[in-house]
Amino acid sequence: MRRLAFAIATIAAAAVNPAQAERLVVSLSNHRVAVTSNFVGTELVLFGTVEPDAPRAALRSAYDLVTTVSGPTVTLRTRRKERVLGIWVNVDSREFIRVPSYLGVLSNRPIDQIADPTVARRLQLGLNHIILTQRIGADFADTVSDDPFRVNFIKLEKEAEQYREVSNGVTFLTPTVFRVSIPLPANVPTGTYTVDVKLFGGGRMIARTNTALEVIKSGFEQYVFEASQNHGLLYGLVTAMMALTIGWFATVVFRRD
């Protein structure tokens, strides 16, 4: 039943709007980013073209593109300090539930020029419109975009280079061929990232596609990290032994008596 409804809707859409028959073809320069001991951040490149869906379908002269890269979700607590008895103390906090640990919104021009606020909110375009669920008392909800906790949360994430909105992150090489540069900072979280590419024409979304990438700790870093998480006691013993060995070694090397 649902499939039938979908088919009818598709046919209806095609009939009403035959010109909207674009298709997005994208390719990521690298699907796997390895964080090694000399990792200082990197930049991934996504290439793509706008293709006509049917052979004779006409293409528009100008497109807009918004790419949203979201890292693995985390739950973060944002705390606010207040002066209590002359010193600054954390007094209030809000939990942001399962929000992206990394969020990059890349577009060819500012989001508010690409789509109006209603469309932007519906499609979660940009940092102002992305849904960031907070635990407020017993409720789970997103707040208005000028809520102080939300504003400061985004500000801190931007300062930590984890959240960013780049209005010149997409370059159209020809009217239909584009390049997106995805910056990944040195402290990028590990895990699976989704890359959501949305194509706009005349203020409306006309095509959309997804891809994914993976950030992994590799080699020695991963080994150390996993050991510390999964075998804490053993890891501690080894670290303590290392400390003693180095301490002992120093007395041998610098022995004066």
- By rule CB under 8 A, what string of x and - marks binding of each residue 42-81 to other proteins? ------------------------------xxxxxxxxxx
Closest by Cα among 106, 104, 123, 105 to 115: 123
Q: Kindly indicate which of the ranges 22-30, 60-68, 138-146, 149-157 contains the residues binding other proteins, using the contact rule CB under 8 A.
A: 149-157
CB closer to other proteins out of 76 and 166: 76
Least Å distance, CB 99 to other proteins, is 10
Closest by Cα among 65, 26, 60, 33 to 169: 65
Token pair in block for residue 115: 């789509």
Binding of residue 232 to other proteins (CB under 8 A): yes
Continuous H helices in 100-164: 111-114, 117-122, 148-159
Output Rg (C-alpha) for the chain, integer angstroms: 24
Closest by Cα among 209, 207, 165 to 63: 207
Binding of residue 93 to other proteins (CB under 8 A): yes
Print the SS3 string covering 179-203. Answer: EEEEEECCCCCCEEEEEEEEEEECC
CA 93 to chain centre: 24
Q: Quick check: 72 and 101 in contact, CB under 8 A?
A: yes
Least Å distance, CB 257 to other proteins, is 7
How many residues sit in the footprint of other proteins (CB under 8 A)? 61
Q: Kindly indicate which of the ranges 16-24, 122-130, 201-209, 248-256 contains the residues binding other proteins, using the contact rule CB under 8 A.
A: 248-256
Least Å distance, CB 186 to other proteins, is 5
Least Å distance, CB 225 to other proteins, is 4
Cα(4)–Cα(220) distance, integer angstroms: 53
With CB under 8 A as the contact rule, the residue among 4, 5, 138, 246 that binds other proteins is: 246
Residue ranges in contact with other proteins by CB under 8 A = 35-40, 72-82, 86-90, 93, 95, 149, 152-153, 155-157, 160, 186-187, 191, 217, 220-222, 224-225, 228-229, 232-233, 235-240, 242-244, 246-251, 254, 257
